[in-house]
Structure 1
Amino acid sequence: MTLDSQYVVIGAGLAGAATAWQLAKAGHEVTLVERTRPAAADGSSHGSARIFRYPYADLLYTELVVRARAGFDELEAGSGRQLITPTGELDFGSVRNPRALAAVLEVAGVDHELISAEVAQQRFPQLAIDTEALWHPGAGVIDAETTVNVMVEAAVAAGARVLTSWPVDGVTATTSGYTVLAADGRSLDPERVVVAAGGWLPTLLDRLPLHDGFRASLPPLEISQENAFHFPYADPDQAWPTLIYEDPEILTYALPGGRDAQFRGMKLAEFNAGRKMASAVDQDGTIDPAARDRAVAYVKRHLPGLVPEPYAETTCLFTNTPTEAFVIDSVDGITIVSACSGHGAKFAPVTGELAAAAATGDLAAVPAVFRPATGESAGFAARANSRRVN
């Protein structure tokens, strides 16, 4: 059998495109296959508004964001396109714990400032702020779709092949590697496979030739259909930061909306509060009226600088692990990449680095907590869900 390429990467969202780019940049022969088109509208990497931010309760993630920023800088320099629009970010609310987040940023060397509620209110009169807040100027808004396209272009420039409208139906083992089968009977014969299928991963898992021990080690994946709402600015000339707010009743994130919402207002959503599903195939794109009501009520209470009537609304997919940790692990030439849980976009370039390392056999380069089969024993159970946010 003649191999089509060394690697087939399944899925051209942020994680898959980043992996293909990193593999191709390292000189490997790569074919990237996508069910429809890169950054498809029914996946998790579409649109032009995702938060780029540094604060995490876990230093590991903050340090990975620092590495990811270097990757975004490289992509921007190579493409001449802006992928992250600077806005700065404000974290506040009675449960958000800005001091703990600030302590992590201090260790990581990320510029930040703890400010009182009074100072925050003076700086941001369009908000209603009643707690201490963390301000960090390095935050911004990621254009997710453009980032995917730039990474795909960079992969192609480095020699990768891209096949669109190529829905994968399964993978079988061969004497020399694997056969990747399309739903219409087409096939590819690579040496190794990377599966970065986002919300379609649960559907594909049973169609991969994984040994029982590796399969059993993978955490359960839960897909959620999230609701996001765009609220118009009361003053279109007022500059807004990205926001994360948490109190005992609600955890929300908000950010200036991108071109797909005409730049007219803020995109706002609750974190991981959508309808739960077994797979992306179960999504229906229907907005939850109760979610809309909660978003409107939140805007009325906390964001007086917005008109509390959404002018646009959409759904998107989260692929969640129980701890919101990523999965980047490999066995026998198959690498599983599930880097989302609603907070994966900002890590895209470094996710590609880690997935490429795993795919080429350098599992030690991947944090052990992301390797449920080959990393720390019970690594997933060891880190509690810290509500990471976008």
Structure 2
Amino acid sequence: MPESSEFVVVGAGLAGAATAWQLAARGHDVTILERTQPASHDGSSHGSARIFRYAYPDEFYTRAVIESKSLWDELDRASGLELITPYGAVDYGPERQPEQLARILAETGVEHELLSAAEARARWPHIAFDTAVLWHPGAGVIDAESAVNAMIEQAVKRGARLLTGWNVSRVEKRRSGYRVVSDGWETRDAGNVIIGAGGWLPSLLGQLPLPAGFLARLPEFAVRQEQAYHFPYRSDDGPWPTFIHKGADIQTYGLPGGRDAGFAGQKVAEYNGGKFIPSAAAQTGLVDPVNRQRVVDYVRKYLPGLDPEPYAETTCLFTNTPNEDFLIDRTGGLTIVSPCSGHGAKFAPLIGQWAADLATRTGDVPGRFRQATAKVSAG
């Protein structure tokens, strides 16, 4: 007879690890099933460099970052680590609207400055600013892989079990709950199942016992194989702040590359510049030379403090919803967590808290994330 758990969490990326941590911390019986290993390198949560920032054009998200930061601090205390390195952030560009971002930070009490382009160039001469610039020093860089491992460690300390090399092929509805089946015919029974499969979610949806109406109302998921490049600093003035630059023809982001880049350069990428793929299973890990040239040309024009020849490059996954809101929704004993549309890392502990609240029926999540059931209510 298969082993049984109160909760099974599928996927040990940031969302799954955070959910398992929150559930285990509340005393629940939790098993984590991971396809390969936590923070897998062909997933969305690997490596040491994700942007942590407060600046959003939507006040809801800024307030959610503030709430999430208290949970990051709790995880730091429990793990003895510093998972967010404070580098600060600059936001600029004609489509980024730094003045609007500054108003929201002022309303939410987040420390910031609004600088002219000339003032910003004097402070950071290695960046060719083309508009006013928002600076907020509380931003920084998340070590995503270490964060996943820290959350898994905290969950395991509280009794959770981690099973690796466990690739879920389907979930079956049973009289008293669910049976999770691997592609090697291993099974695990559960009262409740939380799916945090990231870019694998689109190919797994058809193998879940979801009601037809719920499945039909889920948002369309667009998986992209993104690419990022590491450019060396020309002089010993690194590390730089993180940045988001939104121009009329390209939106880019950059951050100190950390361990991923040997602490020697800035990670720069075009936001949503990668090709669409059906699911994570279709990724190739190959960088598009056209995109590489676009980013090299961008660096040459806007980042004079970098050598425009990348010394390292990588691919990663973004799994987007049409409006870039997350998905945290529930039907029966099945909870689907994320996708995070390329900006979820900073919210990971809070996403875990929301998902645990929903899965245990002890709380709810913001209605904008219940994209399937909210439409039922609206209808």
Other-structure match for 2:368: 369
The Cα shift of 1:374 comes to 2.3
- What residue is the counterpart of 1:325 in the other structure? 325
Matched residue of 1:322: which SS?
coil
Q: Displacement of 1:2 after TM fit?
A: 7.7
CA distance in 2, matches of 1:141, 1:248: 26
For the 8 Å contact 1:372–1:378, the answer to whether it is kept is no
- The reply on whether 1:272 has 2:272 as its aligned counterpart is yes
Number of the residue aligned with 1:303: 303
SS state of the match for residue 353, structure 1? helix
Distance 1:128 1:30 in 2: 50
Deviation at 1:117, TM superposition (A): 0.8
Deviation at 1:114?
0.7
The CA distance in 1 between the partners of 2:225 and 2:215, in whole Å, is: 25
Runs of 4+ in structure 1 displaced over 4 angstroms? 376-379
Measure, in 1, the Cα distance between the counterparts of 2:94 and 2:31: 48
In the TM superposition, residue 71 of structure 1 has moved relative to its aligned partner by 1.1
Residues 248 and 202 (structure 1), Cα distance of their counterparts in 2 relative to 1, 3 Å cut: same
Q: Is the 8 A contact 1:39 1:148 kept in 2?
A: yes
- The match for 1:38 is 38
User: In the alignment, which residue of structure 1 is the partner of 2:93?
Assistant: 93
Preserved CA contact (<8 Å) 1:369 1:376: no
Other-structure match for 2:342: 342
Query: Residue 377 of structure 1: CA displacement?
Result: 5.9
SS for the counterpart of 1:85 is strand
Deviation, 1:68, is 1.1
Instruction: Give yes or no for the alignment of 1:120 onto 2:120.
Output: yes
Instruction: Tell whether the 8 Å contact from 2:225 to 2:318 is kept in structure 1 after alignment.
Output: yes
In the alignment, structure 2 segments of 5+ residues that lack a partner are none
Alpha-carbon distance between aligned partners in 2 of 1:236 and 1:39, rounded to the nearest angstrom: 31
Residue 82 of structure 1: how far off its partner (Å): 1.4
- Conservation of the 8 A alpha-carbon contact between 2:232 and 2:310: yes
Q: After the TM superposition, which residues 76-87 of structure 1 pair with which residues of structure 2 at under 5 Å, given as runs?
A: 76-87=76-87
For the residues of structure 2 that align with 1:318 and 1:199, how far apart are their CA atoms? 7
TM-score normalised by L of structure 1: 0.95
Residues 368 and 376, structure 1, Cα contact 8 Å, conserved in 2: no
8 Å Cα contact 2:239/2:265 also seen in 1:
no
SS at match of 2:200: helix
Segments of structure 1 that go 5 or more residues without pairing to the other structure are: 380-390
Per-residue CA deviation, residues 242-299 of structure 1 (Å, 9 max, x unaligned), is 0100110110000000112101100000001100011111100010001111111111
The one-character-per-residue Cα deviations of 1:315-342 (angstroms, maximum 9, x if unpaired) are 0001111111100000100000124111
1:135 maps to 2:128? no
Q: 1:34 to 1:117 in 2, by over 3 A?
A: same
Residues 274/157 of structure 1: CA separation in 2 closer, same or farther (3 Å cut): same
Q: Quick one: distance in 2 between partners of 1:239 and 1:142?
A: 14
Post-superposition Cα deviations, 1:147-206, rounded to whole Å, max 9, x if no partner, equal 000000000011111100000010001111000001101100010000000000011100
* Cα distance, 1:94 vs structure 2: 1.2
* Deviation string, structure 1 residues 62-96 (Cα, Å, up to 9, x no partner): 11111111111111111111111110000011111
- List aligned pairs for 1:151-190, cutoff 5 A: 151-190=151-190
Q: State, as a whole percentage, how many aligned pairs show the same letter.
A: 56
Deviation at 1:3, TM superposition (A): 6.3
Shift of 1:373: 2.3
The answer on whether the counterparts of 2:2 and 2:188 sit within 8 Å (CA) in structure 1 is no
Instruction: Give the conservation status (yes or no) of the 8 Å contact 2:2–2:187.
Output: no
Find the counterpart in structure 2 of residue 234 from structure 1: 234
CA distance in 2, matches of 1:141, 1:46: 13
**Preserved contact between residue 219 and residue 372 of structure 2 (Cα < 8 Å):** no
Q: Which amino acid aligns with 1:367?
A: P
Q: What is the distance in 2 between the residues matched to 1:24 and 1:238?
A: 40
- Whether contact under 8 Å (1:236, 1:264) holds in the other structure is no
What root-mean-square deviation, in Å, do the aligned CA atoms of Structure 1 and Structure 2 show?
Answer: 1.3
> Are 1:213 and 2:231 counterparts?
no
Deviations 1:5-52 (A, max 9, x none): 110000000000000000000111100110000000000000000000
Show CA shifts across 1:90-146 (max 9, x none). Answer: 001111100111111112111111111111011101111121010000000100000
SS of alignment partner, residue 8 of structure 1: strand
Of 45-54 and 238-247, deviating more is 238-247
AA partner of residue 60 (structure 1): F
SS in 2 for 1:266: strand
Q: Please list the CA deviations of residues 223-260 of structure 1 after superposition, one character each: whole Å capped at 9, or x if unmatched.
A: 10001000000013434100100110110000000112
SS of 2:201 mapped into structure 1 = helix
On the 8 A contact 1:168/1:180 being kept in 2, the answer is yes
Q: Distance in 2 between matches of 1:357 and 1:161?
A: 20
